[in-house]
């Protein structure tokens, strides 16, 4: 899963880090229940390269402040081997500041940010030192 290292305001980071898994109250996030991945770095899905195809992805709001992000990729059959389907998935704690959502992974030390505009959620992430912009749209 692509991850980003974003510098946050100390207040926002402190508020998120202080939450525990079992005692976190429901947070009034304004995000929709589900967003569907439409594009990565301006290229619409499906995105095909030499290694396979990025087929779909979702941002799903779970209970309280928990958000799940997943991405489905596939590779074609090659050399007698069957094609494969890969699912990359991660779960984040989310806090909203105006139109910005701060996502802190539950089991990692990295942070992603997303921005809400109407029915569109734009996720900013980094992979191998390269910034990626994933655009999700609510149904």
What is the reported pLDDT for 35? 95
Look up the CATH number of domain 10-137: 2.40.128
In the numeric block, which tokens belong to residue 103? 């996502």
Verdict on whether the full-model pTM lies above 0.85: no
Each residue of 59-84: pLDDT tens digit? 999 988 899 999 999 988 888 888 88
pLDDT score for 110: 64
Question: Which pLDDT tens digit goes with each residue over 3-61?
Answer: 332 222 222 333 333 444 444 444 568 889 999 999 999 999 999 977 789 999 999 99
Closest CA to 120 of 132, 133, 98, 137: 137
What is the end-to-end Cα distance of the chain in Å, rounded? Answer: 23
Distances (CA, A) of 123 to 23, 75, 114, 115: 27, 24, 4, 7
pLDDT at 116 over 50: yes
pLDDT exceeds cutoff 80 at 129: no
pLDDT value at 90 more than 80: yes
Could you tell me how many residues make up the chain? 139
Domain residue ranges in the chain? 10-137
């Amino acid at each position: 899963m692509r991850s980003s290292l974003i510098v946050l305001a100390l207040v926002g980071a402190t508020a998120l880090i202080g939450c525990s898994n079992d005692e976190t109250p429901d947070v009034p996030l304004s995000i929709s229940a589900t967003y569907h991945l439409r594009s990565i770095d301006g290229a619409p899905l499906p995105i095909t390269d030499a290694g396979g195809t990025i087929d779909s992805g979702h941002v799903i709001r779970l209970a309280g402040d928990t958000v799940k992000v997943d991405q489905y990729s596939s590779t074609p059959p090659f050399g007698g081997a069957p094609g494969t389907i890969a699912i990359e998935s991660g779960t984040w704690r989310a806090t909203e500041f105006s139109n910005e959502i701060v996502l802190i992974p539950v089991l990692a030390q990295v942070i992603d940010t997303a921005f809400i505009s109407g029915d569109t959620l734009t996720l900013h992430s980094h992979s191998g030192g390269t910034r990626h912009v994933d655009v999700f749209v609510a149904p």
